[in-house]
Each structure stands twice: as structure tokens, then as C-alpha cells.
Amino acid sequence: MILECKDICKSYMQGKMELPVLKNICFQMEEGEYTAVMGPSGSGKSTLMNIIGCLDLPTSGTLLLDGEDVSRCRDDQLADLRLKKIGFIFQSFQLLPYQSARENVALPLVYAGVPRRERLQRAGQVLESVGLGDRMDFLPGQLSGGQKQRVAIARAMINHPRILLADEPTGALDSRSGAQVMDLFDQLSRQGVSILMITHDPGVAARAGRIVYIRDGILSDNDEGEEAEAEGGGGYEEA
């Protein structure tokens, strides 16, 4: 099992009121699985992703990542886990604007203590593999949205993470660049990479092996909210 969430709860304090955002999330992923997470805006998708990605801690519950109990980890241990086991991809790319594509991709290796020469060489190889061999020395501002996201994917992959997490990776892209990014996810999935991806786009989600749904902080394997929606409940946000 690459990922096991047991009764994960997350609440935020709003003044003196406790606002529950995630409610007893139970979820497992086998190694090599490709899972899409869908759900309306504000339902808790990013909150869950940030907890799974060790960027945030649950209020209660247990999270096992690659068999390791993350919920008991100290900050420095979490940072280490993020570096070694997790690749994270954001809607807004999160590239450093004044570093070249190659330097952006090599960045995780700086923290891993890899010598500069080897860093740049490895970054070059991963950029080649995402089809950006001819864009290595470009700054993010000189790249299209789709190219930026492919740089971000290369950066996420450079340490050979155990799991790739993506929060609406095509959310800021036009359909053609989105399709290229999705092709890349398919390719990684075929190579055996475990992928957990949030998306609003049913066409994107359909490419995953499995779809789970979050509504009001509750995760389920089927879209039980459908009926609520027909009765006038909250619908899915526009992509």
C-alpha cells in the first residue's frame, strides 16, 4: 500500500468556532494506482492533498505513506519525506521566475545535497523525457503554460518520488496544453508511478484508473452528491 488514510479529520478555527473541513476520510491507494479526486469547490480537496503531501497535518487520524506513519513525524522528518517520497504539482506551476527550466528542475537535488554538475545533468535528462530538451535554458516567463507545467512535472519526478500528487494540474491550461500534460501523466502511470490527482474536468478524471469524490469533507467511491445536486444542492465548479 502506497497510501493509507485512516479517519483523517481536519478542522480550522474560525474565531471560537471549529470548522470541520475533512470528516473521517478513509482512503487507500495501492502502489502504481492512478486515482482522480473530484468534488465541488470548497469541498476539501486541496486540504486533503496538502495533508497527504505532508504540507499540513491532520487534526486527527492516521496517515501512512509508503508504510510510514506520517502523523507522528516532526517537521524536519516531514521535510525529509517530502523531498524523498513525494512529487507535488500545483495548478499555478510554482516555478522560480529567475531560474532556468533546468535549474528549477534541479532544485530538489540542491536540498538532497547532490553536486551541481550532477544536478544539472540529471535535470537535463528529465527535461528531455518530458519533451523539453530544447527549452532547458529558458526562464519560466519564456515558456507557455503547458511547457511550465511540464517543467513542474519534471521537477516533481527528479527524485523518483514514491507518489505523485497533482492539485488541478490542467486547471490553468488551454485544452491542447492540458491534453499534452495528461499524456505525460498517462506515460508516468504506465511506468508504474503512483498518481493522485485532483481535477474538475470529468474528461481528465476519466483517464485515471479510479475516481473518488469529496463532498463537504466526506470522501466516497461514488458520487452520492448527484441526487443532492438535482435537488438544488451545490454543483461542480466550472473548470
Answer positive or negative: Cα dihedral of 7, 164, 213, 12.
positive
The least CB distance from residue 103 to ligand ADP, in Å, is 30
**Closest to 81 (Cα-Cα) out of 105, 99, 57, 102:** 57
Among 2, 8, 25, 44, indicate the residue that binds ligand ADP (CB under 6 A).
44
Q: Concatenate the DSSP letters of all residues of 144-169 into one string.
A: -HHHHHHHHHHHHHTT--SEEEEEST
Return the one option of Mg ion, ligand ADP, none that residue 73 interacts with (CB less than 5 to 8 A, by type): none
Beta strands (DSSP E) in the chain are 3-14, 17-29, 34-38, 60-65, 68-69, 86-90, 163-167, 194-198, 210-215, 218-220
Quick one: how far is CA 63 from the chain centroid? 16
* Dist. CA 174–CA 181, nearest whole Å: 11
Is 92 a binding residue for ligand ADP by CB under 6 A? The answer is: no
Among 9, 11, 20, 21, indicate the residue that binds ligand ADP (CB under 6 A).
21
Per the CB < 8 A criterion, the answer to whether 34 and 185 are in contact is: yes
Among 1, 31, 41, 111, indicate the residue that binds ligand ADP (CB under 6 A).
41
Q: Which is nearer to ligand ADP, 39 or 225 (CB)?
A: 39
The least CB distance from residue 140 to ligand ADP, in Å, is 24
Return the one option of Mg ion, ligand ADP, none that residue 124 interacts with (CB less than 5 to 8 A, by type): none
Is 43 a binding residue for ligand ADP by CB under 6 A? The answer is: yes
Is 42 a binding residue for ligand ADP by CB under 6 A? The answer is: yes
Per the CB < 8 A criterion, the answer to whether 110 and 74 are in contact is: no
Return the one option of Mg ion, ligand ADP, none that residue 42 interacts with (CB less than 5 to 8 A, by type): ligand ADP
Quick one: how far is CA 199 from the chain centroid? 10
Is 55 a binding residue for ligand ADP by CB under 6 A? The answer is: no
The least CB distance from residue 111 to ligand ADP, in Å, is 25
Cα end-to-end span (Å), the chain = 31
Tell me which stretch binds ligand ADP (CB under 6 A): 27-35, 39-47, 65-73, 133-141.
Answer: 39-47
Q: Which residues pair with 176 in a beta bridge?
A: none
Amino acid 190 reads R
Is 12 a binding residue for ligand ADP by CB under 6 A? The answer is: yes
Amino acid 97 reads P
The least CB distance from residue 136 to ligand ADP, in Å, is 33
Among 35, 43, 46, 194, indicate the residue that binds Mg ion (CB under 5 A).
46
Is 235 a binding residue for ligand ADP by CB under 6 A? The answer is: no
Question: Which residue ranges make up the site for ligand ADP (CB under 6 A)?
Answer: 12, 21, 39, 41-47
